[in-house]
Structure 1
Amino acid sequence: MTTQTHQSIFDFLQQHPSRTQNISAPAGAQICVQGDQCSSLIILTQGVVRVFKPAADGRRITLYQIRAAESCILTAGCILNSSPFPAIAEAETDVSGIAVAAADVTRWLNESQQWREYLFSLVAGRLEHMIELVNALAFQRLDARLATWLLQQQSDGDISATHQQVAEELGSSREVISRLLKDLENSGLVSLSRGRITITDQRGVASLIETL
Structure 2
Amino acid sequence: MIRSEQLKELNRLILSEHRSRIISLFPSLADITEQDWNHAGMKVIQMEPNYMIEEGHFLEHAILILEGTVRMYKISGGGREITLYRIHSGECCPLMTSSILGESEYEASACVETPGLVLIIPVEIFRDWTDRYKNFRQFIFKSFAKRIVIMSNLLDNIHFKSIRGRISEYLVQMAVQSGNSDTLYVTHDSLSVELGTAREVISRMLKSLEKEEMIKLSRGKITIMNRTALENYIE
If the length of structure 2 is used for normalisation, what is the TM-score? 0.80
The residue type equivalent to 1:163 in the other structure is H
1:151-190 equivalences under 5 Å are: 151-154=172-175, 155=178, 156=180, 157-190=182-215
Q: 1:85 aligns with which of 106, 114, 128?
A: 106
Amino acid at match of 1:184: L
Structure 1 residues 40 and 22: alpha-carbon distance in aligned structure 2, compared to 1, 3 A threshold = same
2:114 counterpart SS class: coil
Which residue does 2:73 correspond to in 1?
Answer: 52
Partner of 1:142: 163
State the distance in 1 between where 2:33 and 2:189 align. Answer: 40
Q: Kindly tell me: are residues 163 and 10 of structure 1, through their superposed partners in 2, closer, same or farther at Cα, counting changes over 3 Å?
A: farther
> For 2:192 and 2:32, how far apart are their aligned partners in 1?
37
Compute the displacement of 1:204 (Å): 0.6
Cα distance in 1 for partners of 2:89, 2:33 equals 16
The one-letter amino acid paired with 2:38 is S
Match of 1:130 among 151, 156, 165: 151
Counterpart residue type for residue 49 of structure 2: A
* 1-structure distance, mates of 2:31, 2:87: 19
* Secondary structure of 1:76's aligned partner: helix
Residue 9 and residue 188 in structure 1: after superposition, are their counterparts in 2 closer, same or farther (change >3 A)? farther
Match of residue 224 from structure 2 = 199
Deviations 1:101-128 (A, max 9, x none): 1112211112112211211221111111
Bigger mean CA offset, 8-17 vs 81-90: 8-17
Tell me the secondary structure at the aligned position of residue 49 of structure 2: coil
2:51 equivalent in structure 1: 29
CA contact (8 A) 1:190 1:199 kept: yes
In structure 1, distance between residues paired with 2:172 and 2:223: 10
- Using a 3 Å threshold, how does the CA distance of structure 1 residues 14 and 24 change in structure 2: closer, same or farther? farther
Give the Cα separation in 2 of the matches to 1:150 and 1:10: 37
Q: SS of the counterpart of 2:155? A: helix
Secondary structure, aligned partner of 2:95: helix
Structure 2 runs not aligned, ≥5 long: 1-22
Q: How far off its partner does 1:184 sit?
A: 1.2
Query: Where has structure 1 moved over 3 Å in runs of 4 or more?
Result: 4-7, 9-17
Structure 1 14/153 Cα, relative in aligned 2: closer, same or farther at 3 Å?
Answer: farther
Q: List gaps (5 residues or longer) in structure 1.
A: none
Which residue of structure 2 aligns with residue 6 of structure 1?
Answer: 25
Partner SS for 2:66: strand
Choose from 61, 64, 69 the match for 2:90: 69
CA shift, 1:133, in A, is: 0.7
Query: 1:49·1:95 contact (CA, 8 Å) conserved in 2?
Result: no
Question: Which structure has the higher relative contact order (CA within 8 Å, separation 6+)?
Answer: 1
Greater displacement, 152-161 / 141-150: 152-161
Q: How does 1:105-124 map to 2 (within 5 A)?
A: 105-124=126-145
Code of the residue aligned with 1:87 in structure 2: it is A
**Residues 5, 118 of structure 1: 8 Å contact kept:** no
Report percent identity of matched pairs: 29
> In 1, Cα distance between the equivalents of 2:24 and 2:62?
17
- Larger of the two Rg values belongs to structure: 2
Distance 2:199 2:140 in 1: 35
- Name the stretch that deviates more: 104-113 or 189-198: 189-198
